[in-house]
Amino acid sequence: MRFPSRLLLANMVFALMLWAGFFVLVVAVTVGIAVFGTLNESVWEKAVQVTRWYALFVGVALVREFLPMYIAHGQTRRQFGAQAAVTVALFAPFLSALMAVGYLLETVLYNLAGRPQALGRAHLYAEPTQVPLVLIEYLVEFLAWIVAGALVGAGFYRWQGGGLLTIPIGVGLVVLAEGAIGTELRLPFLGSLPLRVDLPQSLALTLGTGLGTFLLGLLLVWAVIRDVPLRNRLS
């Protein structure tokens, strides 16, 4: 098996198909709001918050599904760890680019309809057309969510129920990244209670915190999988 190129390509193709279907759904919702209600905010901004959970799932699957597969085909754990890091480092900006393209296409639709594309929450960018800032924000966010998912996936793969202990650490990584872009994390089971860390807002700090969170997450994942035994699928 060619790794990481095959795994990376498979994830990119799948993400692109999901994005296309998701964008069509968002457009349909947008048209419905414009016809039956008042359209004065970006629907894409609200809808893409669910993509963070997709990024989390990618991280979980990276370890739980692909670690045993590639080790069984001759990869060492060290090789898998290094190449998985490359995969995440390339896949996260790809997802970020899809988010930026979604904003640009939405801008075209809103301009044609003569509707304002206002943003409803804090961002690094003030306008959806500020593509570099859009890319940076979602890159920092996706890197954190993917490595958090990989950490939790590794924890449950190695310790089964004991993997619950990795969840607060994964949440901490995500909260740190969200703080770097000036927003907060809201989890369904915590109701309206936000998880937030307030950091000074600067582009350099955002990039540094994002990179630091990513590297810290990789180190934690490696600490879990470096000598993890392979498990039988039925165990």
DSSP-assigned letters across all residues of 24-51: HHHHHHHHHHHHHS---B-HHHHHGGGH
The total domain count for the chain is 1
pLDDT confidence of residue 187: 67
Domain that holds residue 66: 7-32+40-225
Residue 11: inside a domain: yes
Residue 232: inside a domain: no
Residue 234: inside a domain: no
Residue 81: inside a domain: yes
Whether the Cβ atoms of residue 62 and residue 86 lie closer than 8 Å to each other: no
Whether the Cβ atoms of residue 146 and residue 56 lie closer than 8 Å to each other: yes
Q: Whole-prediction pTM value?
A: 0.92
Residue 233: inside a domain: no
pLDDT confidence of residue 180: 87
Residue 167: inside a domain: yes
The secondary structure of residue 186, as a DSSP letter, is E
pLDDT < 70 stretches in the chain: 1-4, 187-194, 232-235
pLDDT confidence of residue 184: 77
